Amino acid sequence: ERRGAEESLSWQQYYEISRKVYIVLMKRNDPREAFLLAKLDFERDTRNWPDPSTPVFERRVRRQDFFRSWFELADVNTDNMEASTYASFVDTTAHTIVMRDPASGAYMLRPDAEVYELVHAHTKAQKRMRNRLLAWQHSAASRSRGHSNYEAPTVASAAARRSKHEAGVHQRPMVRGAAG
């Protein structure tokens, strides 16, 4: 929304975005906690704009302050200070909370329930991948200990064993020679 010559967000617009970011970062949907955190952030991010006498929920967050708040989110929620890491965090979070309307092509916020489902589907996939990696590392460590009464397995037999293990973890079989 524009107020004067400046683009800004109202409390309601800010809260809609903040609630979805809360779901992404906290991986839960607690409306009360999301509201309280959004209110605290809104008070700080408005920087008393347009002036300090304006009641909190009538204030607005200016465009540059909104972008600064995303920078701070990236700073707090990433492991390093690389620009590419910050950009990846913002991009991933934005793609999780925003979608494109198929009819109009306009960008719009996803419903909270959809954001929650996307976050949990991603979290489950990460856990499956981590478990597969740990299982593979464990089996590789067991094989590398070796025994004096037989030789280490060949690369082919190790790959077959790994493939058998992955198939047991509901991995879809690869189809060779299929046109892609």
User: Is the pTM higher than 0.75?
Assistant: no
Q: Which two tokens stand for residue 91?
A: 């991009």
Asked if 91 contacts 81 with a C-beta cutoff of 8 angstroms, the reply is no
When pLDDT is averaged across residues 64-90 and rounded to a whole number, the result is 95
pLDDT for 13 beyond 70: yes
When pLDDT is averaged across residues 138-161 and rounded to a whole number, the result is 62
Contacts by 155-164 with C-beta closer than 8 Å and gap 24+?
162/136
pLDDT tens digits along 27-46: 999 999 999 999 999 999 99
pLDDT for 171 beyond 80: no
How far apart CA 152 and CA 121 sit, in angstroms, is 39
pLDDT for 63 beyond 70: yes
What distances in angstroms separate CA 85 from CA 75, 94, 154, one per listed residue?
9, 14, 40
pLDDT tens digits along 151-165: 555 666 666 666 666
How far apart CA 38 and CA 57 sit, in angstroms, is 11
